[in-house]
């Protein structure tokens, strides 16, 4: 069990982020929960305090703001709250072809899924190194291991970035007491597909393709503790990753092209980040 250690979880109001908050609290970590839905965060925090006798701090924030990471870390420093575990989980899907959406939507997506996780790691890493202990989990996706698909132009690209970023950071922190893991779940039962409007499509997926968020979070914590730079949740997902790794690029891209339309929302507007 943790002792006087604290975790920061982004996108903690639902889904995998909420599951990480519960898993870390169960393991004895104090938690800082951030997302946009203050009421939801307060409800989760109150439950975790009661159930696990830990400290749970709520820090409502919109990570699409360019100054969000800096403001959050400054606020934590002002309260004397050091962070030992960072879970970069906040994310959402942006549907439609690249030129169908305004640049502002793409810029916000890049800010939330790439810039903010990188900046939070950059700002919190020195303290982790100084204390000789740190854990950084970047919630990527199986999508980062397979070719990108039409209609979700930036999603796979952003997840591939998190995987490569995590691998490099894991090497850079070797021997410092800091572990870094890119966690790569596949289809996970959460609000994600409701937010981007793809629920009716992905519901056609067979049941064995789905995982639940608590399992994803538990495996993620076990993976980072074990020092695994990249971890793919689920045997089916690991099989898919292995298959695409063996296929020639042209054939892999063709397969994604043929199957992508089954689970793509096209021309239905901009997906919004979960509150």
What is the reported pLDDT for 207?
Answer: 57
195-252 pLDDT tens trace:
444 445 555 555 555 689 999 999 999 999 999 999 999 888 878 888 877 777 788 6
**pLDDT for 86:** 99
Distance in angstroms (rounded) separating the CA atoms of residues 89 and 54: 21
Which one, of 9, 103, 119, lies nearest residue 66 by Cα? 119
pLDDT at 10: 98
Per-residue DSSP letter, 53: -
| Residue of 92, 97, 133, 155 marked active site | 155
Cβ-count burial 73-86 (b if 16+ within 10 Å, e if not): beebeeeebebbbb
Q: What is the pLDDT of residue 205?
A: 57
Q: Indicate the pTM of the whole model.
A: 0.87
What residues contact residue 122 under an 8 Å CB cut-off, 6+ apart? none
Looking at residue 269, its pLDDT comes to 34
Domains (range + CATH), the chain? 6-263 (3.40.50.720)
User: At residue 147, what are phi and psi to the nearest 5 degrees?
Assistant: -60, 150
Model pLDDT, residue 260: 63
Contact of 210 with 16, CB cutoff 8 Å:
no
- The pLDDT value recorded for residue 196 is 43
155 is catalytic: yes
Nearest residue to 234 (alpha-carbon basis) of 271, 185, 166: 185
pLDDT per residue over 164-174, tens digit each? 999 999 999 99
pLDDT at 189 (0 to 100): 59
- Where b means 16+ CB within 10 Å and e means fewer, 27-44 reads bebbbbbbbbeeebbeeb
- Residue spans of the chain under pLDDT 70: 1-3, 188-210, 252, 260-275
């Amino acid at each position: 069990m943790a002792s006087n250690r604290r975790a920061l979880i982004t996108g903690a109001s639902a889904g995998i982020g909420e599951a990480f908050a519960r898993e870390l609290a169960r393991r004895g970590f104090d938690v800082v929960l951030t997302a946009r839905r203050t009421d939801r965060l307060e409800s989760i925090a109150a439950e975790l305090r009661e159930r696990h006798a830990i400290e749970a701090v709520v820090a409502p924030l919109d990570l699409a703001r360019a100054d969000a990471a800096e403001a959050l870390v400054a606020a934590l420093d002002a309260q004397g709250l050091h962070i030992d575990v960072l879970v970069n989980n906040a994310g959402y899907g942006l549907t439609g072809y690249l030129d169908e959406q305004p640049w502002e939507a793409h810029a916000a997506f890049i800010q939330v899924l790439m810039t903010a996780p990188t900046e939070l790691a950059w700002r919190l890493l020195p303290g982790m190194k100084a204390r000789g202990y740190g854990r950084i989990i970047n919630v990527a996706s199986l999508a980062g291991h397979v070719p990108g698909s039409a209609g979700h132009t930036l999603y796979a690209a952003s997840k591939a970035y998190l995987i490569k970023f995590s691998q490099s950071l894991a090497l850079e922190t070797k021997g410092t007491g800091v572990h870094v893991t890119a966690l790569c779940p596949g289809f996970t039962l959460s609000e994600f597909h409701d937010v981007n409007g793809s629920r009716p499509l992905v519901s056609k997926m067979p049941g064995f393709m789905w995982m639940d968020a608590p399992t994803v979070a538990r495996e993620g914590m076990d993976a980072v503790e074990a020092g695994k730079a990249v971890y793919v949740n689920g045997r089916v997902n690991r099989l898919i990753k292995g298959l695409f790794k063996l296929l020639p690029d042209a054939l892999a891209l063709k397969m994604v092209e043929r199957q992508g339309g089954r689970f793509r929302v096209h021309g239905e507007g901009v997906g919004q980040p979960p509150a």
